[in-house]
Structure 1
Amino acid sequence: MYSKPEFAPLSRDDVFGLIEAAVFATVVTSGPQGLVVSHLPYVLDRTRGANGTLVSHLARANPHSALIAEGRETVAVFQGPHGYISPSWYPRNPVRDSAPTWNFAVVHCHGRPVPLDDYGTARHLLQLVDMLERDRDDRWRMRELGPGGMERRMPSIIGFDMPIKRLEAKFKMGQDERLYDTDGAIGALEETDPALAAMMKTHNAHRCD
């Protein structure tokens, strides 16, 4: 992934935090007929492996599952806040001579999937549901599927671990623009896109130019 030194994340926690906030990723695997793409939810286990381990699942009916079962080279792409940056937000100093751009945060996780057995897949599904239902007032629980509900579905699902062999992250948040221009964009976005504005503010807080 093309990047610049100034777009590097502030910390490993920054990278893991984006993965955990996004949950959902675009997944690309190289197969005999070319690239295969799916879109899957993930749980990140920060404690397993030098770069953590992703855990997910997909339908066995999905042709992608055969490539996952073979452990082929795969990349999961997680996207954070992003948006168009208009020079109309920049101060005239004396003119607004910077070009429009797009700010974004993205993480690429490279690795080879390792299929899970039924027990591991069921454990992952329980963790995923628990994570996504955690803050709901009337949360749903897996046991509501009823007797045999999980067992009936398991043959149609393949779970997998993906130890992250290589981690790439790019947080393009206006660090390469003039600070007064970036500040102008942050001010405009605080009303329309507070998540992007907050991330831009964090990644430019160290600047004094």
Structure 2
Amino acid sequence: MYTKPEFAPLSRGEVFGLIEAAAFATVVTTAPEGLMVSHLPFVLHPRRGENGTLVSHLAAANPHAVSLIQGHATVAVFNGPHDYISSSWYPHNPVRDSAPTWNFAVVHCHGRPVRIDTLATARHLLELVEVLEKDRPDRWRMRELGPGGMERRLPHVIGFEMPISRLEAKFKMGQDERLYDTAAAIDALDKANPAPAALMRKHNSHRD
């Protein structure tokens, strides 16, 4: 992934935080027939392995499952806050001569997936529900599937884990733009899309 030093994350924790907040990734795997692409939910185990380990599942009927369980090179792409940055927000100082752009945060997790057994897949599904249902009002619980509900579904699901061999992160948040332009964009986004505005403010707080 192309990036520049000023777009580096502030910490490993920020990278893991984006993965956990997104929870959903575009997954691309090399295969003899070409690239395979799926969109899957993940649970991150940040302390398993040098760069953490991702755990997910997909339908056994999905052709992508074959490439995943064969351990082909794979990347999971997690998207964070992003938005279009309009030059119309920039001050006339003396002219608005900066081009519009797109600010975004993204993490690429590279690795080779490994299939997990049925018991581990069941544990993963329980954990995934716990993570995604946490703090929801009237939250749903796996036991609501009823007797045999999990057992009926497990044969149709393939679980896998992917130790992250390489992490790439890019937080392009206006750090390379004139500060007064970035400040104006933050003010405009505060009203329309506060999540990227907050990240822009965080990643430009060191600038005078």
TM-score class, shorter-chain normalisation, is over 0.9
* Map of 1:168 onto structure 2: 168
* Map of 2:93 onto structure 1: 93
Structure 2 letter corresponding to 1:174: G
Q: CA deviation at 1:149?
A: 0.6
Q: Matches of residues 62-141 of structure 1 in structure 2 within 5 Å?
A: 62-141=62-141
Structure 2 CA distance for aligned equivalents of residues 86 and 134 of structure 1: 36
* Map of 2:20 onto structure 1: 20
* Map of 2:157 onto structure 1: 157
Q: CA deviation at 1:139?
A: 0.9
Structure 2 letter corresponding to 1:121: T
- Divergent runs of 4+, >4 A: none
Q: CA deviation at 1:136?
A: 1.1
Q: CA deviation at 1:137?
A: 1.4
Q: CA deviation at 1:47?
A: 1.0
Instruction: Normalising by structure 1, report the TM-score.
Output: 0.99
* Map of 2:195 onto structure 1: 195
What is the number of residues matched between the two proteins? 208
Structure 2 letter corresponding to 1:126: L
Structure 1 CA distance for aligned equivalents of residues 69 and 170 of structure 2: 29
Structure 1 CA distance for aligned equivalents of residues 84 and 153 of structure 2: 42
Secondary structure of the structure 1 residue equivalent to 2:39:
strand
Q: CA deviation at 1:203?
A: 0.4
Structure 2 letter corresponding to 1:191: K
Structure 1 CA distance for aligned equivalents of residues 148 and 119 of structure 2: 15
> What's the Cα RMSD here?
0.5
Structure 2 letter corresponding to 1:69: I
Structure 2 CA distance for aligned equivalents of residues 80 and 137 of structure 1: 25
Give the percent of matched residue pairs that are identical in Structure 1 and Structure 2: 74
* Map of 1:50 onto structure 2: 50
Secondary structure of the structure 2 residue equivalent to 1:49:
coil
Q: Gaps (5+ residues) in structure 1?
A: none
Structure 1 CA distance for aligned equivalents of residues 137 and 24 of structure 2: 22
